[in-house]
Chain A
Amino acid sequence: MRSLERLTLAHLWVAFAAFAIACFFGVWQMWARSPLPAPFVTPDNYFLAVTEHGVSMAFVLTTFFVMGFGYFTAETALERPLPGKTFGWIGFILGLIGAAMASYAILSGRASVLYTFYPPLTASPYFYLGLVLVIVGSWIWCVLMIVAMAQWKRANPNVPVPLAMFGTVANAIMWLWTTAGVAAEVLFIVLPASLGLIHTIDVGLTRTLFSWTLHPIVYFWLFPAYIAFYTMAPKAAGGRLYSDLMGRLSFVLFILYSLPVGFHHLFMDPQEPAGFKFLQMFLTLLVTVPTLLTIFTITASFEIAGRLRGGRGLFGWIPALPWERPMVLATGLSFVMLFFGGGGGLVNMGYGLNAMVHNTSWVTAHFHLIFGGAVVVMYFAIAYEIWPRLVGHEPSSSMPQRIQLWLWFLGMMTMSLPWHWLGLQGQWRRVAQFDYSNPIIAAWGPWVVVSLIGGLLLLASALLFVWNLLFLYRKPEAARLPFRFALPVHPVTHVPASLNGFGLWNVLVAFLMLAAFGWPIAQAFVIEAPHAVVHRVDRGG
């Protein structure tokens, strides 16, 4: 096996192992919350499961998948060896040690989502150090991606960077901006507090820094899905990408408008002025633009493919598409979940409507549908697409892959649509158990059981996914062909210089971040803010 395949597979297997384990925790949580008698239910166990599920899914699955996919893309899209693979392995090992440390803290009951990022409460220092190591590992990845693109540009002056790589580096740059907030919070405030070096915390400042990271981190997870929409789906559908330029524009819009918007997580917080909450809400609204651009472009690309395959009439191109191919099917399913998840997101970002759904199951439903659904289904499709190149074998059949994707889609819809409904009824998130004998909430019970059924479908799909990767790829390849990304309808000979690099966008992000976060952070130093006494919950108070 060659070095790129080894590096990519190592990352993806860590990601998918964490994913599979986290699915078990997820189903058990649904069971615990349902009226059905579940084993091992205590509040301690419930929150331990929530924390391990969340950290595995949101930090381990995503970070390792993004890194592995990035390494793969850098070498295949640029068609030259990835520089500094040794550093890639160092980043991998740092991330692995970090994930193990965080898991140790969680499983030993010293870090729970109830207090890890709710200052002045602090968890075990191992948890924070673990996160820092994962982030440092991902920074190494960012640097390698930027260096790979810079070297390629030097070797190919005046040639547009391949779209897949442009998207990957856009994500790396966005991630560097993103992690600055939580890194500052953890390194300068929370970790020292957790170690007992400082005894008071400015809660408002800490929460503001966390919100800096809280929204764009989601787009870091989402980027691979969008890269696949633009550079894999049109080819899988048998057509071409409608517009390469639209892809570049979407990627830079993600950098611009996913960053200065985190205050929609702080609408209920008192420390920030209302004007800045409004400003960030307004900018949040603009995050929909790259998504709408993408839906338009990919639908247009699919229409091209459908018509090339003989589709006629207004909608005749849709059935003409090769839905039996996992990448095409996953894109279609992803768009359906994006529709519902995105709609829910628009409600969350509204200053007024947010108050209705704040801290209810609605929020959990939203991020499961948009990340666990629309994004993760594309992670599956990407894995299916690049696996032949990684293991040197073709799948013997696409049927188990299609079953797996459909199960995931049906499971996610069955689980999360009732959650939206229950959220509107006022069902709280992060509550271990409900007393369904209470007539006020008795009617919630059946809907929670429906969600549990959805959870079981998801678990079945997750296990089938791992089985597919392990056992389906057994057919020898006819010939070892290089991996190819989708071609645009028009060969890209020239793009505006600003869409072939990130200089301009970094300046604009700096401007937007200054406008959105400048004073809200500065006020913590200008106006004397009240400090709260640190409570080291992992040490019993």
Chain B
Amino acid sequence: MPSFTASIGEVSAMTQPPISEEGQDGRFATRAVVTVIAIVVIAGLLGFVLIPIAQGQSAGLSAFQAICRSLGIQPGSPAFRQPSSATVAQPVSMVAWTPEVIERLHRPNEENGSDIAANICVSCHIESGAAYDPKIPHMEGQSAFAIYKQLHDFKNGARVNELMATIVQNLDDDQMADVAAHFAVLTKGALDPRTISSGDPDIVRLVEFGNSARGLPSCASCHGVHAGGPIETPTLSGQRKDYLATQLQAFAKGERHNDIYTRMRSIAAKLRDDEIEKLAEYYSAQLLFRPQD
């Protein structure tokens, strides 16, 4: 390796001069096109032909099947048929959030909703959706989705309550949506759990952060102000204490089972009785109302 101190002229002489002939323009462009096409062809051969065929052999696929699948034009993963089973999964709730249901909840027949409420619901839930009997839940602050799901579950038996089951039997899906939207509109918004003034620090921690060591997610992750859970997640803030405690106990014992993926059953079963009491107290405490829009 020579050691030198160079001048720019010497450096210039030692490095290659740039392309300078006019005739090379066309050749350069041709080479660029050929290179790009060649790259795509090589990648295509590997990705759509060679690798699928090689891997497909071990999955019992013919070459043609393997190539088709690499292109995504013959769906049918997995490669082997799953063993069939006579067991049919039992859905815990028959509610399907179809665009039609969502549309109806967003744009209900208001007159219909208030008629049903006035004729049927107000005898227990009073006009605002609140309730006097501690066993009856407030509907204040609930979303239309939350109310609709419970009505639907009562109707088809996913959630068991004799009184409610009898009442909703005569309502069709649209009517349930209308009345759910009626009560949701009355108290548009939610009670804000962040405005609670005091609380047992352990319970506040459970609400806000959960307890990963016990496999408990935070309550707020679904029931918080900006619900991160399923759309039908009910608002807990401001709910009756007795009602909350009863429902958590029912979930824990499996008596209530209309929670999809056993979310609430598995959480409630891990809670101690005193925690259930304190959580119910926490959420039932008077909180500030937070309008939605």
Shortest B111–chain A CB gap in Å is 22
Q: Does A523 contact B (CB under 8 A)?
A: yes
Shortest A247–chain B CB gap in Å is 11
- CB-based contact B106/A196 at 8 Å: yes
- CB-based contact A490/B15 at 8 Å: yes
Q: Does B79 contact A (CB under 8 A)?
A: no
Alpha-carbon gap, A438 to B216, bound state (A): 13
Q: Does A540 contact B (CB under 8 A)?
A: yes
B173-218 contacts to A, CB under 8 A, are 190, 208-209, 212-213, 218
- CB-based contact B33/A541 at 8 Å: no
Query: In which size bucket is the chain A interface?
Result: 35 or more
Q: Does B18 contact A (CB under 8 A)?
A: yes
- Which of A87-95, A363-371, A496-504 sits within the interface? A496-504
Q: Does A477 contact B (CB under 8 A)?
A: no
A-B contact count (CB 8 A): 163
Q: Does A184 contact B (CB under 8 A)?
A: no
- CB-based contact A275/B36 at 8 Å: no
Q: Which residues of chain A come closer than 8 Å to B213, judged between CB atoms?
A: 435, 437-438
B72-105 contacts to A, CB under 8 A, are 72-73, 75, 97-99, 102-103
- CB-based contact B11/A504 at 8 Å: no
Q: Which residues of chain A come closer than 8 Å to B24, judged between CB atoms?
A: 496
- CB-based contact B46/A489 at 8 Å: no
Q: Does B1 contact A (CB under 8 A)?
A: yes
Q: Which residues of chain A come closer than 8 Å to B228, judged between CB atoms?
A: 114, 537
- CB-based contact A523/B72 at 8 Å: yes
Q: Which residues of chain B come closer than 8 Å to A256, judged between CB atoms?
A: 36
Q: Does A339 contact B (CB under 8 A)?
A: no
Q: Which residues of chain A come closer than 8 Å to B6, judged between CB atoms?
A: 304, 307-308
- CB-based contact B25/A496 at 8 Å: yes
Shortest B205–chain A CB gap in Å is 11
- CB-based contact A273/B72 at 8 Å: yes
Q: Does B112 contact A (CB under 8 A)?
A: no
- CB-based contact A499/B8 at 8 Å: no
- CB-based contact A494/B47 at 8 Å: no
Pick from A245, A304, A511, A538: contact of B18, CB below 8 A: A245
0/1 string, A498-541, CB within 8 A of B gives 1: 11000010001001100100011001000100000101011111
Q: Which residues of chain B come closer than 8 Å to A512, judged between CB atoms?
A: 36, 40
Q: Does A293 contact B (CB under 8 A)?
A: no
Which residue on B lies nearest to A310, using beta carbons?
B5
B101-129 contacts to A, CB under 8 A, are 102-103, 106
Shortest B271–chain A CB gap in Å is 18
Known contacts A43-B221, A240-B8, A515-B40: does B18 contact A276 (CB below 8 Å)? no
- Which of A148-156, A211-219, A279-287, A324-332 sits within the interface? A279-287
Alpha-carbon gap, A387 to B39, bound state (A): 43
- Which of A312-320, A403-411, A422-430 sits within the interface? A312-320
0/1 string, B219-236, CB within 8 A of A gives 1: 011001011100111000
Which residue on A lies nearest to B144, using beta carbons?
A541
Q: Does B52 contact A (CB under 8 A)?
A: yes
Shortest A181–chain B CB gap in Å is 19
Shortest B220–chain A CB gap in Å is 8
0/1 string, B272-293, CB within 8 A of A gives 1: 0000000000000000000011
Q: Which residues of chain B come closer than 8 Å to A242, judged between CB atoms?
A: 15
Known contacts A42-B208, A273-B70, A540-B143: does B227 contact A308 (CB below 8 Å)? no
Alpha-carbon gap, A196 to B106, bound state (A): 10
Which residue on A lies nearest to B292, using beta carbons?
A540
- CB-based contact A489/B28 at 8 Å: no
- CB-based contact B190/A540 at 8 Å: yes
Q: Which residues of chain B come closer than 8 Å to A178, judged between CB atoms?
A: none
Q: Which residues of chain B come closer than 8 Å to A538, judged between CB atoms?
A: 226
Q: Which residues of chain A come closer than 8 Å to B163, judged between CB atoms?
A: none
Q: How many residues of B are in contact with the other chain, CB < 8 A?
A: 64
Known contacts A275-B70, A495-B19, A496-B29: does B11 contact A307 (CB below 8 Å)? yes
Q: Does A206 contact B (CB under 8 A)?
A: no
Q: Does B54 contact A (CB under 8 A)?
A: no
Q: Does B44 contact A (CB under 8 A)?
A: yes
- CB-based contact B18/A273 at 8 Å: no
- CB-based contact B11/A279 at 8 Å: no
Shortest B264–chain A CB gap in Å is 17
Q: Does B171 contact A (CB under 8 A)?
A: no
Which residue on A lies nearest to B98, using beta carbons?
A533
- CB-based contact B18/A494 at 8 Å: yes
- CB-based contact A282/B43 at 8 Å: yes
Shortest B219–chain A CB gap in Å is 12
- CB-based contact B15/A508 at 8 Å: no
- CB-based contact B18/A490 at 8 Å: yes
Alpha-carbon gap, A283 to B35, bound state (A): 13
Known contacts A308-B11, A435-B212, A494-B20: does B102 contact A275 (CB below 8 Å)? no
Alpha-carbon gap, A494 to B29, bound state (A): 15
Q: Does A76 contact B (CB under 8 A)?
A: no
Q: Which residues of chain B come closer than 8 Å to A308, judged between CB atoms?
A: 5-8, 11
Known contacts A314-B1, A433-B209: does B8 contact A489 (CB below 8 Å)? yes
- CB-based contact A199/B25 at 8 Å: no
Q: Which residues of chain B come closer than 8 Å to A499, judged between CB atoms?
A: 28
Alpha-carbon gap, A508 to B102, bound state (A): 45
Shortest B44–chain A CB gap in Å is 6
Q: Which residues of chain A come closer than 8 Å to B43, judged between CB atoms?
A: 278-279, 282-283
Q: Does A449 contact B (CB under 8 A)?
A: no
Shortest A523–chain B CB gap in Å is 6
Q: Which residues of chain A come closer than 8 Å to B170, judged between CB atoms?
A: none
- CB-based contact B29/A504 at 8 Å: yes
Known contacts A275-B52, A307-B4: does B25 contact A493 (CB below 8 Å)? no
Shortest B52–chain A CB gap in Å is 7
- CB-based contact B52/A274 at 8 Å: yes
Q: Does A79 contact B (CB under 8 A)?
A: no
- CB-based contact B99/A494 at 8 Å: no
Q: Does B167 contact A (CB under 8 A)?
A: no
Alpha-carbon gap, A239 to B227, bound state (A): 60
Q: Does A200 contact B (CB under 8 A)?
A: yes
Shortest A261–chain B CB gap in Å is 11
Other A-B pairs, 9, CB within 8 Å; known A109-B226, A541-B232: A245-B18, A279-B44, A307-B6, A308-B7, A490-B17, A490-B18, A492-B18, A519-B72, A533-B102
Binding site for B on A (CB under 8 A): 42-44, 109, 114, 196, 199-200, 239-240, 242-245, 256, 272-279, 282-283, 286, 304, 307-308, 310-314, 316, 433, 435, 437-438, 488-490, 492-499, 504, 508, 511-512, 515, 519-520, 523, 527, 533, 535, 537-541
Q: Can you offer 17 A-B residue contacts whose CB atoms are under 8 A?
A: A43-B209, A43-B218, A43-B221, A114-B228, A199-B103, A240-B8, A244-B18, A277-B47, A282-B39, A316-B3, A496-B24, A498-B28, A519-B72, A537-B228, A538-B226, A541-B143, A541-B145
